[in-house]
Amino acid sequence: MSKVIAIDYQGKYQSATETYFNQEPPVTVNATRFTPVDLLAAAYGSCLMATIDFATKKAGFQAGVVRSEVTYEMAADGLSVGAYTIKIYFSEAHTNAQKETIAAATKELCHVGNTINPAITKTIELVYEP
């Protein structure tokens, strides 16, 4: 099933994005403030958290994921992302088996992560509360 994302260019490096499901004002991207590359990084962090939530519920426990922070570095050519570093924070401690489920989900199940060029370095740090 294909999905349509409508993007209206508003000039001066700014665009408004509407999706098939949003009822609110569109997401606004301004290439001088919040860039399309920032939007991709945000999508990656958001997808990872939702993926973890899905995988842990399927495994019978709650993830307690509360936040992700995505840092990216541009490649030497300046035209593409060269590396992502993602920290995902949890509100509770987990067993080793639960941590393995979470780690596997981040590496194998995230749609955005699986779409990003495999040549891009992806470092994911899972930060658990003690």
Domains and CATH numbers, the chain: 1-33 (no CATH), 36-127 (3.30.300.20)
What type of residue sits at position 26?
Answer: P
Q: Which residues pair with 28 in a beta bridge?
A: 16
Query: For residue 26, what is the DSSP state?
Result: P
- Whole-number pLDDT of residue 45: 95
d(CA 8, CA 16): 5
Tokens in use for 70? Answer: 């995505």
pLDDT in 10s for each residue of the chain, 130 residues: 787 788 888 888 888 887 777 667 777 788 888 888 999 999 999 999 999 999 999 999 999 988 999 999 999 999 999 999 999 999 988 999 999 999 999 999 999 999 999 999 999 999 997 6
**H-helix segments, 10-119:** 36-58, 96-108, 111-115
